[in-house]
């Protein structure tokens, strides 16, 4: 499954003491030829602790085709960012609407990772 490979790639990067920080669909590529079933993670220009949270948003994007805060209109950038912030804060409600394989378990682990001082990986199965 694609999500399994995505999580594995990010975990590998973290085990090597790197943090990607720019997790988005554009930075995952599928191989060609004999590697056509292999996923590659590219663009290591940034670094931070939020990789797993970003992956959650990528998986939501793949599942829904959009993110709830995409395309918001506002008179100023400040107002737009405030609207985006409000939508992101309502993220808990969105977990309930996601399909079974992407339900709350993954995002609970992401939030847990956000509040711990050390990056820890919990082996999980996304059914």
Digits of tens for pLDDT over the chain (127 positions)?
788 898 888 888 888 777 777 888 888 999 999 999 999 888 876 655 456 667 777 777 888 888 877 888 889 989 988 888 887 777 655 555 554 455 556 666 665 555 444 444 444 434 3
Per DSSP, 117 falls in state S
Question: Beta partners for 28?
Answer: 41
Instruction: Note the pLDDT of residue 23.
Output: 82
Instruction: Note the pLDDT of residue 115.
Output: 47
In a domain, 105, yes or no: yes
In a domain, 125, yes or no: no
- Identified catalytic residue from 22, 43, 50, 92: 22
In a domain, 69, yes or no: yes
In a domain, 36, yes or no: yes
CATH number where 66 lies: 1.10.510.10
Check if 51 is active-site. no
Number of domains, the chain: 1
In a domain, 124, yes or no: no
Map residue 105 onto helix, strand or coil. helix
Distance in angstroms (rounded) separating the CA atoms of residues 12 and 86: 33
Domain span at 68:
2-115
């Amino acid at each position: 499954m694609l999500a399994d490979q995505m999580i594995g790639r990010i975990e590998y990067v973290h085990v090597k003491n790197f943090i990607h920080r720019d997790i988005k669909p554009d930075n995952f590529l599928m191989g060609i030829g004999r590697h056509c079933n292999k996923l590659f993670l590219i663009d290591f220009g940034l670094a931070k602790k939020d990789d797993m949270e970003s992956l959650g948003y990528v998986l939501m994007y793949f599942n829904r085709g959009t993110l709830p805060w995409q395309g918001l209109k506002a008179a100023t950038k400040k107002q737009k960012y405030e609207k985006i912030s409000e939508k992101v804060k309502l993220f808990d409600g969105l977990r309930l609407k996601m399909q079974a394989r992407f339900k709350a378990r993954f995002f609970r682990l992401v939030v847990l990772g956000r509040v711990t001082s050390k990056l820890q990986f919990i082996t999980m199965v996304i059914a």
